[in-house]
Each structure stands twice: as C-alpha cells, then as structure tokens.
C-alpha cells in the first residue's frame, strides 16, 4: 500500500510513510471488510460513514506538516484510523465524532492499540475550545465553508486541512494562520461525507458515501 498508493502519488514525508507502515488498517474496518482493508478506496464503516481512502488520509496528514511536538485536533473520528496515524506523529491528539456508536468503536480499538488519545462525542464543527489553540486541525468531512470556530482555535503558525465545497464535491484546502492573516492553498478535488452541525451542513439531508 505504502509504495503503490502513497509514494508513487507523491507522498514523501518519511514520518508519515512510517506511520502508515506501522498502523494496521485492517483493525479499523468492519470484520466483513478486512479482505479489502488495503484497497485503494474508502470503505463503509456503518451509519452511512466511511474510512477514507489511504491516499487521502496520507495527503491530509502530510499537509499538516507535523514534526512530533504538536497538539492536534481531528474533526470526524470515524473508524479511528486517521486518529491512530496522528497519534504516531504528534504529541497530543484530540478527536471529535458526532455519532456515538462510531466514537465508541473507535475508542475501543484505539485503546486496544495502546494509543493515549482524547475523544469526545459532539458537534466538531464547533471544535473543542477547552483545549485550544491547536497547532494543527484536520477535518475529515466536507463542509460549505471553514467553520469560524475552528479558525479561532488554530494557533498562530498552525495549519488546518479541510474539504470545502458542496455536498457532492469539494476542494481540499490547507489554511495557514500567520497572525490575523490566513493563507489558503488547494490540494485539488475530493469527495467526502458531509460535515454536519452548527457550522457545517444541517442534519436533515441524506448521508452520501465518500
Ligand atoms: N478520519 C476517519 C477515518 O479514518 O475513519 C474518516 C471519517 S469519515 C470520512 C467522516 C466522519 O465525520 C464521520 O464519522 C462523520 O460522522 C463525522 N462527522 C460529520 N460531521 C461531524 C461533526 N459535526 N462533528 C464530528 N464529526 C462529524
């Protein structure tokens, strides 16, 4: 997976590649999906949600530029796979999931793997203000715009990665804060499940697969 799906597509951060070699994706997919755990695609994890394509997880993680000492906030714990990757790369990881069943399953697997991680069930479009600011924020669901709450919780010099667009197609944005200035860069098109919540999409629409 690392060679064929990540390195050939340009993922080059050695620490990120090492994390992908170490974290076993099959532990984070439902039992009936274990045979497809290393497929080059997202997979369903229940509740209409997905574990993202490995390359997309790697691209978003690499864009955060983690060196090892950071406090990171992830919005959308999902299966817990990206949470585990982040735990390998940063000092403290905080992750928010709105669906309790997914959050519980992720908590169990992450604990079994021995990761020390802070998990919460709630509306991640509002971030997790109690522990802000964060050096890095990654949103693993697509929203109509970058939530103001998340921008407020991003530390000076910090980076935020998030898919932004409509419910069907988004652009993967990297935002770097420098003082009051926000620099935006696009990493290209992507397709994620919707970020629901106060600063995301409302909770009435149908769920879409990534
Ligand atoms: N990073 C995850 C993984 O590796 O499995 C991928 C998660 S999936 C693509 C996106 C997740 O975002 C879903 O589990 C969904 O329930 C969650 N989500 C959507 N809106 C949310 C919100 N407002 N707060 C927290 N989680 C949210």
pLDDT tens digits for 76-135? 999 999 999 999 999 999 999 999 999 999 999 999 999 999 999 999 999 999 999 999
CATH number, position 179: 3.40.50.150
Indicate the pTM of the whole model: 0.95
Q: Is residue 203 part of a domain?
A: no
| Structure token pair of residue 171 | 């652009």
Q: Is residue 19 part of a domain?
A: yes
Q: Is residue 210 part of a domain?
A: no
Measured between alpha carbons, how far is 72 from 79 in angstroms, rounded to an integer? 17
Measured between alpha carbons, how far is 40 from 59 in angstroms, rounded to an integer? 13
The reply to whether ligand 1 has any atom less than 6 angstroms from the CB of 86 is: no
- Specify the pLDDT at position 144: 97
* Domain span including residue 117: 2-190
- Specify the pLDDT at position 203: 63
Residues 6+ apart with CB under 8 A from 129: 149, 152, 153
Phi, psi of 69 (to 5 degrees): -105, 10
Q: Is residue 207 part of a domain?
A: no
What is the 137 CA–ligand 1 centroid distance (Å)?
A: 13
| Count of beta carbons in the 10 Å neighbourhood of residue 146 | 20
The reply to whether ligand 1 has any atom less than 6 angstroms from the CB of 167 is: no
Q: Which residues of the chain have pLDDT under 50?
A: 205-210
Closest ligand 1 atom to Cα of 197: 23
Q: Is residue 200 part of a domain?
A: no
Q: Give the count of domains, the chain.
A: 1
- Specify the pLDDT at position 202: 85
Give yes or no for a contact between 73 and 35, defined as CB atoms under 8 angstroms apart: no
State yes or no: cis peptide before 130, omega within 30 of 0: no
């Amino acid at each position: 997976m690392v060679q064929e799906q990540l390195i050939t597509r340009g993922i080059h951060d050695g620490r990120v590649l090492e994390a992908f070699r170490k974290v076993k994706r099959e532990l984070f997919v439902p039992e009936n999906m274990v045979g497809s755990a290393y497929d080059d695609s997202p997979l369903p994890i229940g509740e209409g949600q997905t574990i993202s394509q490995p390359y997309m997880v790697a691209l978003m993680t690499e864009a955060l530029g983690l060196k090892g000492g950071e406090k990171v906030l992830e919005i959308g714990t999902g299966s817990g796979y990206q949470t585990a990757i982040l735990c390998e790369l940063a000092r403290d990881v905080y992750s928010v999931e709105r669906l309790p069943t997914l959050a519980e399953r992720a908590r169990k697997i992450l604990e079994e793997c021995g990761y020390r991680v802070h998990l919460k069930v709630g509306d991640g479009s509002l971030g997790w203000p109690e522990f802000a600011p964060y050096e890095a924020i990654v949103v693993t669901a697509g929203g109509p715009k970058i939530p103001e709450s998340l921008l407020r919780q991003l530390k000076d010099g910090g980076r935020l990665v998030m898919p932004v667009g409509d419910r069907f197609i988004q652009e993967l944005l990297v935002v770097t804060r420098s003082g009051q200035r926000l620099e935006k860069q696009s990493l290209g098109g992507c397709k994620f499940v919707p970020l629901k919540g106060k600063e995301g999409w409302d909770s009435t629409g149908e769920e879409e697969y990534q």
